[in-house]
Copies of this chain bind each other. A is one copy, B any other.
Amino acid sequence: MRTLKLSVKDLLSAGKPGEEVSIKGWVRTKRGNKQINFVALNDGSTINNIQIVVDVPNFNEEDVNKITTGAAIHVKGELVESKGEQNIELAAKEIEILGECNPETYPIQPKKHTLEFLRENAHLRFRTSTFGAIFRVRNAMSFAVHKYFNENGFNYLHTPLITGSDAEGAGEMFRVSTLDPINPPMTEEGKVDYKQDFFGKATNLTVSGQLEGELGAMALGKIYTFGPTFRAENSNTTRHLAEFWMIEPEMAFYDIVDNMDLAEDFMKYVIKYALDNCMEDLKFLSKRLTEEEKTKKADERSMELIEKLKFVLEEDFARITYTEAYEILRNSKPNKKKKFKYLIEEWGVDMQSEHERFLVEKHFKKPVIITDYPKEIKSFYMKQNADGKTVAAMDVLFPGIGEIIGGSQREENLEKLLTRMSEIGIPAEEMDWYLDTRRYGSAEHSGFGLGFERLILFITGMGNIRDVIPFPRTPNNAEF
């Protein structure tokens, strides 16, 4: 019933010489002379442009002059064989200017712009080849995530963004309120009277859907979340966003080994999906990365992008305990030569990015899963190991990224969980709903969280997390 609209991608992949077609898109570049013009036209469907051949004397001069970078045009004509980059090009018969684009003021010029400049023009950066590629890859990766979980019997669970619970303590939170910001109602004790707020209590933006995810898993069996999460942390780094997308699968009847198997299988699946479905964009991004890396010293350059993705597919992830990792690091050259910024001395310290990258990039030379972390540096809900010192946590570390996944088997024993909560001061009464899963039909279960933007950084080879989300939210920045 729908009229089929052909895209540039359709024309380039399936167009045949001699066909009469109609196409709309934006001009990337125009070159040529008074007789003939070659216009590269793109409509966002692919990294590639279709070349429009304009026999200038056949057209209104004013129209031809309006074919400038960024202009939207409608071209009708005949597909003809091409000797250029693509097999096919379009000999124009009619050209309509849909929307002009003043070359004097258009911010996106047909030249190289810095990523910083494009970040400030995030509303227009989708029109560049680099960001077109990044956001098509991001789209493909989103679909791969849904496809994987769908094929494996998981239920996508939309856990709430606004939360009245602040018990998880995974970080600073944003307050959500409709109270008068200048004169909020106050209690007799001199506190803000959140009973009068929209939800009748103080509410924040969630830092994780995990606790609600556990409720789903303990009934539906296997669930995953894929939605925005928030951190009100004042960290202006290339790795942190105040608003980012997280994927959190949670599985009843999975122990920590099942959890590791799932994480590895999942990561390989989505990487393979990128290789199978995004090769043209990946090739472009690979070239971009290689160009960028030329400014680095040879030994600081990362592996070529596509080679790196294939490499991860082919290797089994190394699996070691925290204690094993600790020993490797303590005895490592950079530790002995005091090259680490944070020297590894006592068992129990958290690992820094430099340690994670040493393990992955220098020692094992492949992704690493570290398990059984000291309980003091991990969350209250993680399953306590028999040694009394460690918990069944797992972090998956990736080359160039460091921690990409964090997860654990969850503590299913009510008494142990209550004891741990009381040790670190989490009031049980506020978490009654969560504890009910351990009261009624408790069972071993596990899950993990994957920062989606970190995955996109890995797949695209981009270096700054602000370049892989459409409109980044960071301290002092909520533009567009």
The 0/1 profile, CB within 8 Å of B marked 1, for residues 184-201 of chain A is 101000111000001111
**Contact between chains at A215 and B126 (CB < 8 Å):** yes
> Is A43 an interface residue when CB atoms closer than 8 A count as contact?
yes
Residues from chain B with a CB closer than 8 A to the CB of A200 are: 475-478
A45 and B153 contacting across the interface, CB-CB below 8 Å: yes
CA of A162 to CA of B36, assembled, Å: 49
Complex Cα distance A257/B212, Å?
Answer: 42
Interface residue range, chain A: 35 or more
- The answer to whether the Cβ of A163 comes within 8 Å of any Cβ in the partner chain is yes
Query: With A and B bound together, what is the CA distance between A234 and B198 in angstroms?
Result: 8
CA distance A126 to B176 in the complex (A): 27
Tell whether, in the assembled complex, residue A212 and residue B261 are in contact, meaning their CB atoms are under 8 Å apart: no
B156 adjacent to A242 (CB under 8 Å): no
- Among the stretches A138-146, A286-294, A325-333, the one at the interface with B is A138-146
Give the copy number: 2
Whether A221 touches B162, Cβ cut-off 8 Å, given contacts A176-B205, A203-B478, is no
- Give me the 10 closest cross-chain CB pairs, A-B, nearest first: A99-B442, A126-B219, A44-B221, A44-B220, A199-B478, A200-B476, A72-B443, A164-B478, A139-B155, A72-B441
Please name all residues of chain B whose beta carbon is closer than 8 Å to the beta carbon of A243 when the two chains form the complex: 160-162
Query: CA separation between A325 and B331, bound complex, in Å?
Result: 79
| 20 additional contacts (CB under 8 A) given A5-B253, A102-B440, A181-B192 | A7-B221, A24-B253, A24-B443, A26-B441, A45-B153, A70-B441, A72-B442, A99-B443, A135-B155, A136-B155, A142-B156, A142-B158, A146-B146, A159-B470, A162-B205, A162-B242, A179-B181, A182-B192, A199-B475, A228-B228
Interface string of A253-264 (1 = CB under 8 A from B): 110001001101
A364 to B212, CA, bound (A): 43
Distance of A27 Cα from B219 Cα, bound (Å): 11
CB of A106 closer than 8 Å to a CB of B: yes
Are B198 and A475 touching (Cβ within 8 A)?
A: yes
Among B258, B442, B476, the residue within 8 A (CB) of A3 is B258
Q: Do the beta carbons of A160 and B473 come within 8 Å of each other?
A: yes
User: Do A1 and B264 have beta carbons less than 8 Å apart?
Assistant: yes
